[in-house]
Amino acid sequence: MRRLALFCGGFAAGIFLAQYLLPGGWLLSGGLVCLALGFGALLLPECWRKRAILCLVGAALALGWNWLYVRQVSEPMEALADTQQALTMTLTEYPTETRFGAKVTVRAEGLPGKLTYYGDPPLLQLSPGQCLTDEVYLQSASRIRDDDVTVFNSKGVFLLAYSRGTVAFHAGTVDAPRWWPTRLGRAMQARIRELFSGDDAGFLLALLTGRKGELSTQADVDLSEAGVYHILAVSGMHCAYLLAMVGFLAGKHRRRLTAAAAIPTLIFYAVLTGG
C-alpha cells in the first residue's frame, strides 16, 4: 500500500505539473527528465532508492501520457475548430432535448475524440450505436463566447458540431454488445421513474446512474448544506459496494473471481453511469 501511495503521489504531481505549470512544449522533456532521474535514483542508498524510483516513474508516466494525449487527440481536434465538415457520426448515448432541438455525444469517423452534436428534434428518436451523416459547423468546446470552459473537455469532448445540412440516418451497430450497458442504464432510469416520484426518484437516479439533473433545487441545497452531496458522484464508495456484491455472489472462490471481475465490472459501471 505504501508503494502504491508513492507511485500515485508521483503521478498526481506529474498531472499537476502538466495541467498548471509546464507549457505544452515541455511535457515530453519533463517526462524524460523524470525518467532519467528515476534511473539515477538507482545510485541512492537502499532506504531511499525505491521511494524515489516510484515517485519519479509515476511523474514520468503522467507527463508522458499528457503529452501523448495532447498530440494525438486534443490538438488534432482543436485544429478543426471554426471549419465546416461532412461527417459520419455514431451516437454514444441517448440524445437529450434542448431549447432548439436535441443534442448527443458522438464519435465521428476519422477523428480521435468525441463531439457534442446539436440537431433537430428527430434526433431524439435515435439510440446509441445508430449513425448519422451531416454537414456540420465545428466549434471549439474549450472556449465558448470568449470564455474558457472545461465541462466538455473533462468528458473527452473537444468540439461542438452544429447541423448545417440535411441529416441522413443509418442503422449502424445499434445491436452490438458495447451498447448494452447504456441500454441497461436507460431501462434502470425508466424503472426508477415508474416506482418513485419527485426527489425520491431524483435521488435514486443520481445515486445509481449519476444523473443529477432531476433533483429539485431545494434537495440540492439540503444535500450540500448537510455535507453529503458527494455521495451522488460515482466514487470509490460505489465501486466498493459493487465489488463487495460481486465477492458475496462469488461464494468460496470470491477472492479469485472478484479479482478477475474487478476491471470489467468497474468499466461496465462507468459506462452504465455515463462516466
Cell of 149: 470552459
Dihedral (C-alpha) 258, 261, 266, 267: value to the nearest 10 degrees? 170
Kind and range of the H or E run holding 148? strand 147-148
**Residue 9, Cβ density class (10 Å: 0-12 exposed, 13-18 middle, ≥19 buried):** middle
* Residue with grid cell 435515435, as numbered in its chain: 126
Q: What integer pLDDT is reported at residue 206 of this predicted model?
A: 81
H or E segment and range at residue 212: none
pLDDT in tens, the chain (275 residues): 578 888 889 999 999 999 888 887 899 999 999 999 988 888 888 878 888 999 999 999 999 999 999 999 999 999 999 999 999 999 999 999 998 899 999 999 999 999 999 999 999 999 999 999 999 999 998 877 666 777 788 788 999 999 998 899 988 888 888 888 888 888 888 888 888 888 888 888 887 777 777 888 888 888 888 887 777 776 666 667 666 766 666 666 555 555 555 555 555 555 545 55
What local confidence, expressed as pLDDT, does residue 197 receive?
86
Q: What is the pLDDT of residue 243?
A: 66
Reading the block at residue 26, the C-alpha cell is 515541455
Distances from the Cα of 118 to the Cα of 67, 126, 136, 137, 145, angstroms: 30, 13, 9, 10, 17
Sorted by where each starts, the structural domains of the chain and their CATH numbers stand as 2-74 (no CATH), 83-170 (2.40.50), 177-272 (no CATH)
What would the DSSP string read from start to end of 57-90? HHHHHHHHHHHHHIIIIIHHHHTTTTEEEEEEEE
pTM over 0.85: no
* Pair 155, 124: CB distance under 8 Å: no
Which residues contact residue 112 at a Cβ distance below 8 angstroms, ignoring those fewer than 6 apart? 72, 73, 76, 77
Q: Residue 101 in contact with residue 85, Cβ under 8 Å?
A: no
Distance between CA 44 and CA 54 in Å, rounded? 13
Q: Identify whether the C-beta of residue 106 lies closer than 8 Å to the C-beta of residue 89.
A: yes
Phi and psi angles of residue 116, each rounded to the nearest 5 degrees, phi first? -105, 115
φ/ψ (deg, to 5) at 113: -115, -175
Distance separating alpha carbons of residues 272 and 267, to the nearest angstrom: 9
